[in-house]
Amino acid sequence: MIESLFAKLEEQYPEMVDFRRDLHMHPELSHHEERTPEKIAEFLKGLGIDVRTGVGGRGVVGTLKGGKPGKTIALRADFDALPIQDEKDVDYKSQVPGVMHACGHDLHTAGLLGVAKVLSSVRDEIPGTIVFVHQFAEEITPGGAKFMIDDGCLDGVDMIYGAHVMADEPFGTVSVREGYASSAQDDFEIEVLGQGGHGSSPHTTVDPLVTASQLVVNLQQIVSRRVSPQQAAAVTVGSFQSGGANNVIPDKAVIRGTVRTYDAEVRDMVENALKQIAKSTCEAVGAGVNIDYIRDCPSMYNDPEEAGRIEKMARLVVGADNVHEMAPMMGSEDYAYYQEEIPGVYFIAGGQNPDIGAVYPHHHPMFNADERAMLNIGKVFISSVLNYLSDGEIKPDGE
């Protein structure tokens, strides 16, 4: 059964490419998606799939009920673009100035629609329900995942799978890992309140610029001295703003940055340490301080059993030599919100191909990826979903 569905997906590939390239030419920014969700909904409705639009704002959810009772599994793809000018010389170059699909979300979307078409053709044989979650606004904070969850996109769902095309991994490879797969993301803004004055009389001031500079240095001790070497964390100050004139000590300095962690206890510890260090550094010189600490995405945690299922099926799709352990990412991904609610797995498929110029990193003006990665993701989805819903009874031929 699975091999015949793989063949159907390959037959569907030209339509998947056309859909992807149409999205690539008409990209839409996060929270401004209109045409894209309309096209997704239209496609799913044409397959006879129950469709709900406006989920969480701009999301689309399609529900395919199989002909036999069973569990419910969701598949997720994101569809927003980025504020980047497309500089590729291709026929399907973005037609929207300053906006392009520079992260592969168009591939994710078209690939998942291909999967939906293939699985809908055998719905009577499916033992359970498959939910297609098409998510808006992955690229910015707050992302669309949380809004869609709040609006019920996971109601009744037992498991969720997600995937991402990666431009720095060779086409034909698949990577997955069990446990933590990407870090949590927190952001902070610390306002140091001093007392300004003339640069010639620093003794009459409380210098917020010097205090904030010391604070930047002190924050580096969180990871080096409070986080175990066996665990991972990053505290980065990316913005420092203060003053304007060369002979004036300002009243205020503001630093902004980001925190990345995996473990929940480490996440709590880093937040508490950052606040404590900021307060004590400022109090030591008589400066005031305001701290705004924002918790964004949690860390992605891949269910070990399901990661093993994905790995097993990926070997049958791309060959054992082309399946690798995914390196944990310090970047964040709001797919993690789904995994906070139910078990799930997130894997990556290689899209790098020097022969077609697909060698540039994500979020680059020249970004592109080998479109055949949609087939690899789709085949892993199809085989893993059916294997999961049948409790391992549905297997690729010859296994």
Residues 147, 42: one domain? yes
pLDDT one-digit tens code per residue, 331-340: 889 999 999 9
- pLDDT band of residue 399 (cuts 50, 70, 90) is low
- Find the CATH number of the domain harbouring 30: 3.40.630.10
Answer yes or no: are the C-beta atoms of 131 and 119 closer than 8 Å. Answer: no
- pLDDT band of residue 1 (cuts 50, 70, 90) is confident
Residues 278, 318: one domain? no
In a domain, 63, yes or no: yes
Residues 176, 284: one domain? no
- Sequence-distant (6+) residues with CB within 8 A of 194 are 205, 206, 207, 208, 209, 211, 249, 250, 251, 252, 253, 287, 288
Last residue of a domain, one of 274, 295, 316: 295
Active site residue 80: yes
Residues 231, 250: one domain? yes
In a domain, 168, yes or no: yes
pLDDT beyond 60 at 80: yes
Give the C-alpha separation, 242 to 214, whole Å.
14
- pLDDT band of residue 141 (cuts 50, 70, 90) is confident
In a domain, 222, yes or no: yes
In a domain, 150, yes or no: yes
Q: Give the number of domains in the chain.
A: 2
Nearest alpha-carbon partner for 343 in 303, 380, 308: 303
Nearest alpha-carbon partner for 323 in 313, 332, 333: 313
Residues 147, 18: one domain? yes
**Annotated catalytic residue: which of 138, 311, 333, 370?**
138
Residue-level pLDDT at 166: 96
Category of 54 on φ-ψ map: left (φ > 0), alpha (ψ -120 to 50) or beta: left
Residues 277, 291: one domain? yes
Answer yes or no: are the C-beta atoms of 176 and 311 closer than 8 Å. Answer: yes
pLDDT one-digit tens code per residue, 363-386: 999 999 999 999 999 999 999 999
Answer yes or no: are the C-beta atoms of 143 and 59 closer than 8 Å. Answer: no
Q: Tokens 């803004």 — which residue?
A: 189
pLDDT one-digit tens code per residue, 218-267: 999 999 999 999 999 999 999 999 998 999 999 999 999 999 999 999 99
Domain with 291, as residue range(s), is 187-295
pLDDT one-digit tens code per residue, 314-333: 999 999 999 999 998 988 89
Residues 131, 26: one domain? yes
In a domain, 394, yes or no: no
CA dihedral 30, 33, 39, 42 (to 10 degrees): 110
Residue-level pLDDT at 392: 84
In a domain, 395, yes or no: no
Last residue of a domain, one of 295, 322, 344: 295
Residues 145, 192: one domain? no
Last residue of a domain, one of 268, 295, 322: 295
Residues 287, 196: one domain? yes
329 against 101, higher pLDDT: 101
pLDDT beyond 70 at 397: no
Calculate the average pLDDT of the chain.
96
In a domain, 366, yes or no: yes
pLDDT one-digit tens code per residue, 173-219: 999 999 999 999 999 999 999 999 999 999 999 999 999 999 999 99
Phi and psi dihedrals of 227, rounded to 5?
A: -100, 130
- Sequence-distant (6+) residues with CB within 8 A of 284 are none
**Annotated catalytic residue: which of 80, 86, 306, 311?**
80
Residues 132, 46: one domain? yes
In a domain, 398, yes or no: no
Give the C-alpha separation, 95 to 287, whole Å.
51
